[in-house]
Amino acid sequence: MNGLILAASTTQEDNGWGGKLPIIPHPAELIIGLVFFAVVYWAVAKYFVPQFEAMYAERTATIEGGIEKAREAQAEAAAALEQYRAQLADARGEATRIREDARAQGAQIIAEMREQAQAEADRIKSSAQQQVTAERQQAMVQLRTDVGKLATDLASRIVGEALEDSARRSRVVDRFLDELEASEAVVS
C-alpha cells in the first residue's frame, strides 16, 4: 500500500511549489491577481470614490443645512412665542384698563342718575309745595267766605238786623277775622 501512495504522489503535477502545498496559489496567479487588484483599486479610487465623496459632502451639507434650518425655525418659534407672550401681556393690560374705564363710567353714570333723581325729587317736592300753597290759599279764601257768611248770619240773629248789604257784610267779616288772627298770634 505504501507503494500506491508513493506512485500517486509522483504522478501529480507540479504547481511550482513542488506539489507539497496545495492551498497556496501559483506565483503567476498571484501576480495576475495583484495586477488586477491594483487596476480595480485605481479605477475605484479614480472614478467611484470622488462620486462617493461628493455625495457624502452633499449629504453632509444637506444635513447641516437641515440642522441650521431647524435651529432657525426653533429661534423663530421662540421669538414668536415671546411675541405672543408680549401680546398676551399687552392684551391683559388693555383688558384691565378697559375694566377700570368701565367701572369709572359706571360710577359716573350712577352719579349722574342720582343727580337726575335728586333734581326730579326736588322738582316734584317744589311742585307739591306750590300745589299745597295754592290749595291752602284757596281753602283760606273758601274758609273766609264760609266763616264770613256764618258770622254775618250769626250777627244778624244776635243783633236782629239784617246785614244784607255786601259791602257792610264784607267789612264786618274782615274785622272779625282780623281780630281772630290777632288773638291767635297773641296765644302763639
pLDDT digits (tens, 9 = 90+) for 109-144: 999 999 999 999 999 999 999 999 999 888 888 887
Q: Which domain holds residue 180?
A: 26-187
- Asked whether residue 115 is domain-assigned, the answer is yes
- Asked whether residue 120 is domain-assigned, the answer is yes
Number of domains the chain is built from: 1
Q: Around Cβ 147, how many Cβ atoms within 10 Å?
A: 15
Helix (H) and strand (E) counts for the chain?
Answer: 4, 0
Instruction: Give the C-alpha distances (Å, rounded to integers) separating 27 from 15, 17, 30, 161.
Output: 9, 9, 5, 187
Q: 13-58 pLDDT, tens per residue? A: 555 555 566 677 788 888 999 999 999 999 999 999 999 999 999 9
- Asked whether residue 94 is domain-assigned, the answer is yes
Q: How confident is the model at residue 163 (pLDDT cuts 50, 70, 90)?
A: low
The verdict on pTM exceeding 0.75 is: no
pLDDT of 7 strictly over 50: no
Contact 169, 152 (CB under 8 A): yes
- Asked whether residue 149 is domain-assigned, the answer is yes
Give helix 49-159 / helix 166-187 axis angle, nearest 10°. 120
Residue 162 confidence (pLDDT): 60
Q: How far apart are CA 55 and CA 36, in angstroms?
A: 27
- Asked whether residue 119 is domain-assigned, the answer is yes
- Asked whether residue 13 is domain-assigned, the answer is no
